[in-house]
Amino acid sequence: MPQNLNDLLKSDPQAQRFFESLPKYAQEAVRRHTEEITTTDGLRLFTETFMQDDSYQGA
């Protein structure tokens, strides 16, 4: 099992494609939580929550 986001992106092509499809501001937010995101489901959940949150300073 991956230990962090970097391990996940190296070992899971689906997670890598999903991450690369995100807007830059969302990628930056994900990178700030590198140690906490270790699964593709966790990556998707974090991203969905972040992008639905009214407080993000996106696009």
Whether the pLDDT of residue 58 is over 70: the answer is: no
At residue 38, the pLDDT reads 97
At residue 28, the pLDDT reads 95
At residue 40, the pLDDT reads 96
pLDDT in tens, 11-47: 999 999 999 999 999 999 999 999 999 999 999 999 9
Q: Give Cα 50 distance to the centre of its chain.
A: 10
Whether the pLDDT of residue 56 is over 90: the answer is: no
Whether the pLDDT of residue 54 is over 70: the answer is: no
The single-letter DSSP state of residue 23 is -
For residue 21, CA distances in Å to 43, 46, 58 come to: 12, 15, 15
